[in-house]
Amino acid sequence: MKSWLDVAADVRRSVTLKKSRRSIYTRAGAWHDAPSIGQEAASVGSIATLRPEDLIIHHHRGHAIHTIAKGANLTTMMAEFLGKEPGYCRGRGGSMHIADIPGGNLGATGVVGGGIPTAVGIALALQMRRSDRILLSYFGDGATNEGEFHESLNMASTWKLPVVFLCDNNQYGMSMNVSKVMNIAHISERAASYGIPGQSVDGNDVLAVYEAVLAADERARSGQGPSLIDLMSYRWRGHSKSDRNLYRTPQEIDEWKHKCPIRRFKQVLVDGGVMTRDEVEDIDQAAKTAIDRAAEEALTFPEPSPENMEAEVYAP
């Protein structure tokens, strides 16, 4: 089990994330920015449970949170967001399809739910090869209404695969509140249909996330099969740039801003005597500087050339 200090080190990354939602997308002319502000603890707390060789596969809102938490180089990540040649996917994946293969981040996907069956396939391969690595499969609350979510949990459960299913539940799929599209109180209840453990956790409490996911990791690693953990949080910003928040109230958004997972963990660190307030704020400042520097550097990088547009569609 990791110590508090290890987790505190991971929060450094969490704070970094927040600063990455600057307007560099707009400056660089990129289109997509699915902001994950407010949801940092779920990805940081869960990825902190992993061994370095473990894997993740995530979603359209994971381009920054999961990617940084899995240890990405900030400059290379920013370069990818900006579609630059030195990016993680040489500017071909962008924010929605970023992948850091050597880092064990097998990629985000723009297809909601699309990563879940792939995760099951990866887990099956890990099992067949007698590997002791595990995989975290992330998806949103909306994605759990796609058929492939259910089909995947069924297979993974039947074959006791080394995967943990993690729902980044921000309570909305675009404009749709989760309560209007499923007749159960908690997404974790769905686990019962597949005979696996299901748990709903306060996704804004990084330590609660850490503990729940670590237990599920151990279960997966020891051959007992998958679990479903519902990491309940909230998306502060609109779904994307064009969202006008017609489906929720400003009060609701404000309430959740008061439950900021980063501020909350900072307080825990200070109250527990792990760090001083100054140390915590220093991390914040350092994160801001690191992100700014990464973005500035990435902006100077070369763009992909049209000459090799058709390269790498097939093996050379």
Partner 1 sequence: MAEITLIEAVTQAMAYEMRRDPSVIVLGEDVGVNGGVFRATAGLHAQFGSERVLDTPLDETTIAGLAVGMAFQGMKPIAESQFDGFIYPMMDHIICHAARMRSRTRGRLHCPMVLRAPCGGGIRAPEHHSEAPEALFAHIPGLRVVIPSSPARAYGLLLAAIRDPDPVIFFEPKRIYRQYKEEVPDDGEALPLDVCFVLRDGHDVTLVTWGAHVKETLEAAEQLAERGVSAEVIDLATIKPIDFDTIRESVKKTGRCVIVHEAARTAGIGAEIAAQLAEKSMFDLVAPVERVTGYDVPIPLFRLEMKYLPSVERIIAAVDRTLAYR
The binding site for partner 1 (CB under 8 A) comprises 29-32, 83-84, 91-97, 110-113, 142-143, 145-147, 173-176, 180-182, 242, 246-247, 303-304, 306, 309-310, 313
Q: To the nearest whole angstrom, how small is the minimum distance from the Cβ of residue 218 to Mg ion?
A: 27
Q: Does 141 bind Mg ion (CB under 5 A)?
A: yes
Rounded to an integer, what distance in angstroms lies between the CA atom of residue 20 and that of residue 299? 14
Contacts of 312 (CB under 8 A, 6+ apart): 92
Helix-strand-coil split of the chain, %, nearest 5: 45, 10, 45
Q: CA 220, CA 167: separation in Å to the nearest integer?
A: 16
55-57: strand order across its sheet? 55-57, 135-140, 163-169, 227-232, 198-202
Judged by beta carbon distances under 5 to 8 A according to partner kind, the member of Mg ion, ligand TPP, partner 1, none in contact with residue 61 is ligand TPP
Nearest to 206, CA basis, from 2, 34, 11, 70: 11
- Residue in 64, 74, 112, 228 binding ligand TPP, rule: CB under 6 A: 112
CB of 181 to Mg ion, least distance (A): 11
Separation CA 279–CA 132 (nearest Å): 37
Q: How far is the CB of 118 from partner 1 (least distance, A)?
A: 14
- Residue 303 DSSP code: P
d(CA 40, CA 14): 6
Q: How far is the CB of 238 from partner 1 (least distance, A)?
A: 11
For residue 208, the minimal CB distance to partner 1 (Å) is 27
In terms of CB distance, is 74 or 112 closer to partner 1? 112
Contact (CB, 8 A) for 287 and 19: yes
166 φ, ψ (degrees, to nearest 5) = -120, 120
Please compute Rg for the chain using Cα positions.
19
- 306 interface partner picked from partner 1, Mg ion, ligand TPP, none, CB below 5 to 8 A per type: partner 1
Query: Is residue 143 close enough to count as binding ligand TPP by CB under 6 A?
Result: yes
Beta bridge partners of 228: 165, 198
Taking CB under 6 A as the criterion, which residues in 153-182 touch ligand TPP? 168, 170, 172-174
Residue of the chain from 46, 76, 170, 233 that contacts Mg ion (CB under 5 A): 170
**Which stretch in 133-141, 145-153, 208-216, 219-227 sits in contact with Mg ion by CB under 5 A?**
133-141
> Could you tell me the CA-to-CA distances from 151 to 29, 140, 191, 200, 226 in Å, in that order?
38, 16, 12, 21, 13
Residue from the set 86, 103, 110, 197 that interacts with ligand TPP by CB under 6 A: 110
| Residue showing the smallest CB distance to Mg ion in the complex | 140
Q: Partners of 200 in the beta sheet?
A: 230
The correct pick among 45, 62, 83, 140 for binding Mg ion (CB under 5 A) is 140
Smallest distance from partner 1 to CB 175, Å? 4
Region from 30-38, 169-177, 239-247, 308-316 binding Mg ion, contact rule CB under 5 A: 169-177
Sites of contact with Mg ion (CB under 5 A): 140-142, 170, 173
Sites of contact with ligand TPP (CB under 6 A): 60-61, 110-112, 140-143, 168, 170, 172-174, 235, 239
